[in-house]
């Protein structure tokens, strides 16, 4: 999702999962101790780099990064699946698999 030129359906789904984790925890790891976004391009790139490091599904869903409770393992499964999809416009997410994971929660 970050540091790319094209937005794809997987990006929307990944953003939805981050929103759900935010609603669950009340915060995301990259909401803390990061400088406020400025107009400076270098600050923007640095912020994206930090977020990219913090969005590893296993670390994110373990609760360690957010200092919150763990999330359901299906969140990590979906995030891993989405992040592993090829980064091209032809790659469409398997919505049936994602629905199956959500139903398991």
- Average pLDDT of the residues in 74-97: 87
The pLDDT tens digits for 40-71 are 777 777 777 777 777 788 877 876 655 666 78
Per-residue pLDDT at 53: 74
CA gyration radius, the chain: 14
* Mean pLDDT of the chain, nearest integer: 79
What residue spans of 1-94 are helical by DSSP H?
A: 9-25, 41-54, 57-62, 73-84
**pLDDT > 90: percent of the chain:** 20
4 pLDDT above the threshold of 80: no
Place of tokens 């669950």: 24
Intra-chain end-to-end CA distance of the chain, in Å: 24
The pLDDT value recorded for residue 33 is: 60
Measure the CA–CA gap between 62 and 90, rounded to whole angstroms: 31
**CB distance 15 to 22 below 8 Å:** no
């Amino acid at each position: 999702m970050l540091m790319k030129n094209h937005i794809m359906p997987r990006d929307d789904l990944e953003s939805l999962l981050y929103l759900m984790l935010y609603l669950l925890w009340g915060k995301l790891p990259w909401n803390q101790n990061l400088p406020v976004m400025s107009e400076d391009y270098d600050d923007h790139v640095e912020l994206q780099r930090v977020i990219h490091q913090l969005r590893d599904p296993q670390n994110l869903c373990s609760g360690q990064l957010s200092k919150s409770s763990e999330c359901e393992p299906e969140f990590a499964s979906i995030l891993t699946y989405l992040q592993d999809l090829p980064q091209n416009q032809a790659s469409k997410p398997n919505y049936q698999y994602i629905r199956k994971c959500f139903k398991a929660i």
